[in-house]
């Protein structure tokens, strides 16, 4: 009858399948999304037996807030178009969810650089591909090219003059002898030769006598060098 009110529970069910695209990157706490899919609804009737069936095309948008890596809460809005009768329904959506499967993306670790190994057939510390002297004997000091290092030759000459018939070192030569002694202390492998000479002025007999004094003067130079600390 007209105006009759029915007090009857109506039961129904709805199944929905959506594809969702997330913005941002995995691990972000907040990730916006858009979704689209289809739904099927089945409702019982209040005045007759049977059920009403409807198919929907739906689109939506919203955001997910990840409380943990797997558990999230979401909120959004969704439009559902009823394909059977042409009506469109809008509604908010809220919910919680749990992601299954997968694992957090591990940061890629760059492989450790591999130390370049080169061959060194003569064991001089210089690789064969740059060794210009590949057959250097053992225990020989080499340069960057793998060749025997050439010792630098340094020549220092002193001109120490003595008074006639004397073998005493004069004070004006002390500084030069000390410099030589310091150099020899810095480079202990240094060898030194001390020579005595005379000029050709005067008779031969006198010059021969001067040579004898020269032999006396050589030790005096060495003694002075030792006094300068050369002998430790």
Domains and CATH numbers, the chain: 12-98 (2.40.160.20), 118-150 (no CATH), 171-230 (3.30.1330.60)
CA distance 192 to 166: 23
> pLDDT tens-digit profile of 149-179?
766 677 777 777 766 666 677 777 777 777 8
Given a cut of 50, the residues of the chain with pLDDT beneath it are 1-3, 5, 217, 232
* Buried b or exposed e, range 85-110, using 16+ CB within 10 angstroms: eeeeeeeeeeeeeeeeeeeeeeeeee
What pLDDT is recorded for position 232? 47
> pLDDT tens-digit profile of 14-41?
888 999 999 988 888 999 999 999 999 8
Across 67-166, where does the E strand assignment appear?
71-82, 88-98
Q: What residues pair up with 31 in beta bridges, in sequence order?
A: 64
CA distance 61 to 90: 12
């Amino acid at each position: 009858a007209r105006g009759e009110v029915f007090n009857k529970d109506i039961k129904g069910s709805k199944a929905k399948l959506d594809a969702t695209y997330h913005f941002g990157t995995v691990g972000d706490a907040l990730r916006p999304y858009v979704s689209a899919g289809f739904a099927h609804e089945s409702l019982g009737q209040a005045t007759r037996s049977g059920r009403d069936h409807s198919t929907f095309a739906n689109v939506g948008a919203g955001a997910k807030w990840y409380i943990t890596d797997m558990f999230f809460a979401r909120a959004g809005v969704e439009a559902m178009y009823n394909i059977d009768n042409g009506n469109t329904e809008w509604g908010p959506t809220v919910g919680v969810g749990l992601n299954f499967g997968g694992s957090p993306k591990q940061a890629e670790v760059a492989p450790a650089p591999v130390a370049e190994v080169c061959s060194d057939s003569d064991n001089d510390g210089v690789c064969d591909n740059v060794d210009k002297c590949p057959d250097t004997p053992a225990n020989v000091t080499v340069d960057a090219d793998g060749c025997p290092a050439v010792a630098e030759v340094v020549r220092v000459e002193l001109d120490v003059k003595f008074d006639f018939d004397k073998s005493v070192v004069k004070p004006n030569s002390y500084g030069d002898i000390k410099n030589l002694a310091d150099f020899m202390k810095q480079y202990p492998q240094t060898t030194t030769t001390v020579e005595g000479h005379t000029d050709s002025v005067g008779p031969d007999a006198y010059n021969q006598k001067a040579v004898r004094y020269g032999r006396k003067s050589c030790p005096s130079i060495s003694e002075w060098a030792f006094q300068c600390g050369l002998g430790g």
